[in-house]
Structure 1
Amino acid sequence: MLRLRCKTKNGSHIMQGLTHQSCVQELKSKVEELTGIPCDVQKIMVGYPPSSLDLRNGDAHLKDYPIKSGDTLIVEEEKNKPKPQDHPTVTKAPRLEASPMLARRVVPADNSCLFTSVYYVVEGGVYDPACAPEMRGLIAQIVSSDPAAYCEAVLGKTNEEYCSWIRRDDTWGGAIEVSILSKFYQCEICVVDTQTVRVDRFGEDAGYHKRVLLIYDGIHYDPLQKETPGSDTPPQTIFSTTDDVILAQALELADEARRKRQFTDVNRFALRCMVCQTGLVGQKEAREHAKETGHTNFGEV
């Protein structure tokens, strides 16, 4: 059984009931059933970067195509192309098409922005605000299964304490969690910092073929995606690790945010402990307060 997902501009769908022995027409009919896009105008793409599949032979089997379990198929509706004419609008049309650009996809600041952002990019642009508990549980399971690698020296607390802590919905994820998720999803996770305009590449030396991007302002994480303004093409969130152009574009976004001061200086921002209402300044004071009192629920003032 093939485990597939298809994605359109309107959302993502899980595809069931297909195998490598299924024929192309079965695939196209399943896509039409899920998306409403008629078989004869479907454009189906797969891979990173996405490339179109030649599906004109409806009797061909899926085993003859580069489709494997776990893939996300990107589906667009092909518009009828206008016939060449000497009409002004025909010659001007290509110049009206926008170019793909890297952009921030804002997610809620709810203590789980890291988990929501990572899920969004690794799943190919699927936004699921309910994914955080599952991802926190996944991290806790991985950490508890390897106490030697994830010891107190690494975690800053005992293995057992960490696993209880990360499952709570009022705790924030950071570098440790990104590293764990990079290994689990077998992809390089690049975090672009808007304050320092640098990129931290988790899984850089692991030989992964896929890369996803997050942008970080000192407190909050958002996913980055390549999108074409005004286009029906679904956004792209997964890139090749050989694509250094996308890293340069991400750094440009970070530099633009820095110049607009769209970052939080973690050493100077004002916080309040939501347990005892104590006012605090900066990340250092917050950590010391948490160590002294056990309070870890902070709100930005």
Structure 2
Amino acid sequence: MRFKVNISGKGDKVVSVDGNDKIVGELLQEIAEKFGIDMDIIQSIRFGYPPQKVDINDDTLVQLLEDIGLSSGEKIGVTLRGSGNNTVSNANTSPVEPILKDNQSSFIGNDGTKWILQQHEVPDDNSCLFHAIAYCMYKDISLSGGLRERVAKEITKDGITYNEAILGQKPQEYINWILLKDSWGGGIEIAILSKVLGVAVYVLDIDALKYEKFNEDKYDEFIIILFSGVHYDAIETTTRKTVFNVRTDEPFCQMVLACSLEIARNMKQNGKAFNSQKANIICNICQKKFVGEREIAKHAESTGHTDFGQA
């Protein structure tokens, strides 16, 4: 997709993005690089006839270009923050900094680009682990069921590794259980999916404020998923980047890990985490209380109850 972009005082430039599935944030990154500006000072864009204005914020950054009505060949006018007549702010005017949410953190890359990391929430329906990994890898949580099937297939193929002692029950019983959409996934499933997807999985425990890294010694690429104690979510940038490569850009990855920890710290301070090994957990359906994930999983399996909370 090619666009003719105008910024008053900086002239016109042709900006290109590959593919038809790009989001607004990715286009803005290309515009910022082409014009030599910080992406965060882009306030709005205009295009079409009659002109349509799109204000730039956290929501519009992750919208697909086609969803806002932008098609290849459009002429785009860009308005910068602090410039009433589309000109760049002068040296005495600081660009307006966006206010970050509790589940966001930011850093400046070595190339001067400002990156914002954030929690991407997935449905709390007992498939959250599979949703989080599916989102990180494919941006599509409808593929969660397929990930369950991949786990089942690996257990079937390797009965020596995934034996009754490891699984806590006979392999076929475990397979039947994990294929149910209400069955919780955990460490076994993370290790298997890390291997079959060829990517390291870094699980960031919000309560402990530390990472548990699966297969970091095997793969250069990694994804980050947040674990609150009873729920998994994904970590992404506002441009929907979810897979990071430590070999190609280690400094960038170190900043990603540090900022993800900051997000976890903020969430913990706001009461969005608890220690499932120590905290009392209540079934909101029958009011029984449990301690630890294993007890919850067994209760969910035997009763079909799926609504739990902290007692």
Q: TM-score, normalised by structure 2?
A: 0.63
Residue 104 of structure 1 is matched in structure 2 by: 119
Percentage of matched positions with identical amino acids: 24
Residue 201 of structure 2 is matched in structure 1 by: 189
Name the aligned partner's letter for residue 283 of structure 1.
G
| Distance in 2 (alpha carbons) for counterparts of 1:131 and 1:175 | 19
Residue 264 of structure 1 is matched in structure 2 by: 274
Name the aligned partner's letter for residue 246 of structure 1.
V
Candidates 212, 226, 230, aligned match of 1:215: 226
Work out whether 1:151 is the aligned partner of 2:163.
yes
Name the aligned partner's letter for residue 295 of structure 2.
A
| Distance in 2 (alpha carbons) for counterparts of 1:165 and 1:157 | 10
Candidates 133, 136, 161, aligned match of 1:121: 136
Residue 282 of structure 1 is matched in structure 2 by: 291
CA drift of 1:296 comes to 6.0
How big is each residue's C-alpha offset from its partner over 1:109-168, in whole Å with a ceiling of 9 and x where there is no partner? 000011011000112xx133x322221111101111111111112211111111101001
CA drift of 1:261 comes to 2.1
Candidates 3, 6, 9, aligned match of 2:23: 9
| Distance in 1 (alpha carbons) for counterparts of 2:205 and 2:241 | 21
Q: TM-score, normalised by structure 1?
A: 0.65
Residue 236 of structure 1 is matched in structure 2 by: 241
Residues 180 and 37 of structure 1: CA distance in aligned 2, closer, same or farther (over 3 Å): same
Work out whether 1:200 is the aligned partner of 2:215.
no
Indicate conservation of the 8 Å contact 2:201/2:215, yes or no: yes
Name the aligned partner's letter for residue 127 of structure 2.
S
SS at match of 2:233: strand
| Distance in 2 (alpha carbons) for counterparts of 1:285 and 1:187 | 27
Residue 88 of structure 2 is matched in structure 1 by: 90
Indicate conservation of the 8 Å contact 1:218/1:264, yes or no: yes
Name the aligned partner's letter for residue 90 of structure 1.
V
Indicate conservation of the 8 Å contact 1:271/1:298, yes or no: no
- Unpaired runs of 5+ residues, structure 1, are 12-30, 42-76, 228-233
SS at match of 1:91: coil
Residues 134 and 97 of structure 1: CA distance in aligned 2, closer, same or farther (over 3 Å): same
Indicate conservation of the 8 Å contact 1:102/1:225, yes or no: yes
| Distance in 2 (alpha carbons) for counterparts of 1:254 and 1:102 | 11
Name the aligned partner's letter for residue 163 of structure 2.
C
SS at match of 1:8: coil
- Unpaired runs of 5+ residues, structure 2, are 1-17, 26-63, 99-113
Residues 39 and 254 of structure 1: CA distance in aligned 2, closer, same or farther (over 3 Å): same
SS at match of 1:286: helix
Report the count of equivalent residues: 229
Work out whether 1:248 is the aligned partner of 2:258.
yes
Residues 296 and 149 of structure 1: CA distance in aligned 2, closer, same or farther (over 3 Å): farther
Name the aligned partner's letter for residue 198 of structure 2.
Q
Residues 94 and 78 of structure 1: CA distance in aligned 2, closer, same or farther (over 3 Å): farther
